[in-house]
Amino acid sequence: MKGQLPKEEKADTGNEDADESRQLGVVGLSLILGQIATYFQHRTYADDIDVLSFSLRHLFCRIDYLYRTVLPDLLSVSSAPMAEESRFEDLLRHQHIWTKLRTIKYTLNRLEPLCNLLGDATECMLDVLDMTGGETPAHKNSTPTPASEENELEWMQTLSHERLEQALTAVMESLADWQESYNDLTLLVDHFSHLAPAIPELIQLDEAFTIVLDSAGAIFGDILPSFQALAAGDDDAVATLLFDLMHQADQLLAQYDTVLEPLHALIEQFALKSNR
């Protein structure tokens, strides 16, 4: 039992750091989504904006949890029998792996409806964008703005720009953490190599998790930040970004279907062993 306590303390600290970083990323993402909502103000239904924001925020949190916590936890424990391992230790090891595999399954189960919501909201926004093409809200003021108000407006715009830059930095740091965490992990096909004859589809898991990470990078690191550089009324560019967003949502859904069979097979393997 020697050495277990420091290991647990280190794991707790790591989880706390991951939770704090995740919250910073969510706050940053919320600011970015607020900018997108401003662009569509008075041009689309508020419900569509709400659904878009809800699905993206929760998608961010689920992917963060998957790559920064659950997958590392799963791969931190050997899946193969170890020399001089007692029967009790063997059962504990199998129980740990079984639990983490089920956690991955639940996390992916949540990704599916979020991607469907994201796709539906994006499609609705594209339809409204097409119907209202060229229309922009009229907020022009014929009265000259006093110099004091112009200075205040300039100051607020500068502050908003600084906050947005901080938001983008927080999101990008999360993306970098996901990639670094995943790069440090053993491939699932190698970690569970002794089960390859029974589950030949294991390699699909690694391919799917790589694609999920790439799609997440495209959504949160490319598509959403690109909205910030658009000029008011640039509907063609907005439509392109929305189509890209729909494509990435469909890509994530496709990976969900890919991982189901090998993941269920893995869960079954360790469920049987844990009950022997």
Backbone angles phi, psi at 231, to 5 degrees: -85, 155
**Encoded amino acid at 8, one letter:** E
Domain boundaries, the chain: 4-132+161-265
- pTM equals 0.81
Predicted pLDDT at 57: 93
What integer best gives the mean pLDDT of the chain? 80
In terms of pLDDT, which residue wins out, 222 or 48? Answer: 222
Neighbouring residues of 96: CB distance < 8 A, sequence distance ≥ 6: 77
**Encoded amino acid at 7, one letter:** K
Per-residue pLDDT of 170-191, as tens digits, reads 899 999 999 999 999 999 999 9
Per-residue pLDDT of 121-168, as tens digits, reads 999 888 887 776 645 443 334 444 454 444 444 434 444 567 778 888
Per-residue pLDDT of 242-269, as tens digits, reads 999 999 999 999 998 899 999 999 999 9
What is the rounded CA–CA span in Å between residue 237 and residue 241?
A: 6
3-state secondary structure of 22: helix
C-alpha distances (whole Å) from 153 to each of 159, 166, 230 are 10, 20, 20
Neighbouring residues of 265: CB distance < 8 A, sequence distance ≥ 6: 198, 199, 201
Predicted pLDDT at 166: 83
Neighbouring residues of 175: CB distance < 8 A, sequence distance ≥ 6: 216, 217, 220, 221
